[in-house]
Amino acid sequence: MLRFNTEIFWESFPQLLRYLPITFEMIFLSLLLGVILSLALVVMKLGKRKALRKFSNGYTTVIRCTPSIVLLFLVYYGLPKVVARFGVNIDEWNKLFFVVLTYALMSAGGLSEVMRSSYEAIPRGQTEAALSAGLTRLQTLRRIVLPQAFVVALPNLGNTVISILKNGALAYTIGFADMMGKATRIIAKRYTTYALETYVALAIIYWVICILIEQIIKFGEQRLEKRKIKAAKEGIG
């Protein structure tokens, strides 16, 4: 049995970290598109049209019941066949597109529930007071509703980022060149020798990133809560 090779272990870090920007790009784009899609779902869920409410609730249920790797394969292998019927060829498109679309679709369902509950957590009296004070609905949404809803949704938003990070590691299965993809190529070049050293290094990188995300979210929560308390005191004064 081969011993744990510390030299290979330390050499793995710079090789893997070189692909960290690609991982961050995937997370950012997936989250951005996921938030946009989730806002559309929230509008449907809170709207008066029964058909749209059923569609958005059904979408959330289906996405929650679909494993992320299955959704990835459906998007990567299925979408090109669907659009090909309309004369569009996306077979040669960058794999980042399929990965981002997959995790945006995946995160949108959960985020829509988070945003809906965050919106409903805000007392309606505040909205009515803002409207009676002369603010438009858009101004009320921007100045009153969204800032408070963001504070409520922030912890779950952090969990979504971590979820995209972890599930994104599965993107190597379609040949996506992120940190996990690089790790598999390193191991393949070594004919699976020193695989443990490479995976341990990769795991440490993921652990550190997750811890940093949690701390950033925690810091953001504390700052926003302090601002909220300060604003309340000024209002009383």
**What are the angstrom distances between the C-alpha of 35 and each of 150, 161, 213, 222?**
12, 11, 18, 23
Assess contact for 30 and 100: CB atoms under 8 A.
yes
Statement: residue 174 has pLDDT above 90: yes
* Global pTM value: 0.84
Residue range 6-236, CATH number: 1.10.3720.10
40 CB-contact burial (10 Å; exposed 0-12 / middle 13-18 / buried 19+):
middle
Q: Which residues contact 135 (CB under 8 A, 6 or more apart)?
A: 143, 144
Q: Which residues contact 42 (CB under 8 A, 6 or more apart)?
A: 56, 112, 115, 116, 119
**How many CA atoms are closer than 13 Å to the CA of 148, on its beta-carbon side?**
19
Q: Which residues contact 123 (CB under 8 A, 6 or more apart)?
A: none
Query: For 136-151, what is each residue's pLDDT tens digit?
Result: 777 777 777 777 777 7
**Centroid of chain to Cα 128:** 33
The per-residue pLDDT for 128 is 76
Query: For 56-109, what is each residue's pLDDT tens digit?
Result: 999 999 999 999 999 999 999 999 999 999 989 998 899 999 999 999 999 998
Statement: residue 226 has pLDDT above 80: no
Residue spans per domain, the chain: 6-236
Average pLDDT, integer, range 39-65: 89
The per-residue pLDDT for 126 is 76
Average pLDDT, integer, range 191-220: 91
Higher pLDDT, 36 or 230: 36
Query: For 115-129, what is each residue's pLDDT tens digit?
Result: 888 877 777 777 777
Q: How far apart are CA 43 and CA 213, in angstroms?
A: 28
Statement: residue 236 has pLDDT above 50: no
Task: For the beta carbon of residue 109, count every other beta carbon within 10 angstroms.
Answer: 22
Contacts by residues 19-25 (CB-CB < 8 Å, ≥ 24 positions apart): 19/177, 19/178, 19/179, 19/181, 19/182, 20/179, 20/205, 22/96, 22/177, 22/178, 22/179, 23/165, 23/168, 23/178, 23/179, 25/96
**What are the angstrom distances between the C-alpha of 226 and each of 160, 219, 234?**
24, 11, 12
Statement: residue 228 has pLDDT above 70: no
